[in-house]
Amino acid sequence: MKTVYRRHNCTNAHHTFRAMAECIWPHADSIDGEGPYATVTCCPHSPSRSAVTVRLHDELATAQAKFDEIGRSGCSGRCTGNHDLIEFRQS
Ligand SMILES: [Zn+2]
Ligand SMILES: [Zn+2]
């Protein structure tokens, strides 16, 4: 199990965790959901480019379950296991 806690520091005020996620991953392919826990996958979706997808969760248990699921079954056909589970801390 891999857990990463990222404290996000920037000068912008984010009113939602989603806004924070969009600030951290401006080039994400997709950002879904809302909440302080994020499952992030950075595996390639095609041979030429990797893609970042972010799913936000209300509860750590939900995020952990999702993280375990993509760890077992892979996030895509080209999964390389490049996944993070991140807890946001609003400062
Ligand atoms: Zn920010
Ligand atoms: Zn993957």
Ligand whose nearest atom lies closest to the CA of 9: 1
Rounded (5°) CA angle 72-86-7: 165
Rounded (5°) CA angle 51-54-60: 145
Res. 64: pLDDT tops 80: yes
Q: How far is the CA of 77 from the centre of ligand 1 (A)?
A: 31
Q: Parse the chain into domains and list their residue ranges.
A: 4-89
Q: How far is the CA of 14 from the centre of ligand 1 (A)?
A: 7
pLDDT digits (tens, 9 = 90+) for 22-63: 999 998 999 999 999 999 999 987 777 778 999 999 999 999
Q: To the nearest whole number, what is the mean pLDDT of the chain? A: 87
The structure's pTM equals 0.85
